Amino acid sequence: MLADEMSPARVAALRLGMGAAMTALTVQINCGSGMQSIDTAFRTIEVGKTDLILAGGTEALSHAPLVLRQQAVEWFGRFARAKTVWERTAT
């Protein structure tokens, strides 16, 4: 999958030869995409809207917000500004 392919579900359906008419839904929830897609697929089958769904999730946790205490933020800031290895070990 390439970075410019913004809908993994659409890309997977097309690459599997399912055709452009195949419905595709991409779910992006940090740490929950796989389970959410399976739950959505199950509920769609349960109410009789379809008989078969290919479900799966992808994670992009490198883009997830990271919450740190102020002390850690300041330490990382000093570490990033350090110009030498010695300065980095002294932070």
Query: Which tens digits make up the pLDDT trace of 23-79?
Result: 888 887 777 888 898 999 999 999 999 998 888 887 766 666 677 888 888 888 888
pLDDT value for 58: 78
Cα 10 from Cα 21, distance rounded (Å): 10
Q: Rounded to two decimals, what is the model's pTM? A: 0.54
Residues 6+ apart with CB under 8 A from 35: 57
pLDDT value for 42: 95
Determine if residue 48 is left, alpha or beta; phi over 0 gives left, psi from -120 to 50 gives alpha, anything else beta: left
Residues shown for the chain? 91
Q: Residue 2: is its pLDDT beyond 60?
A: no
pLDDT value for 1: 53
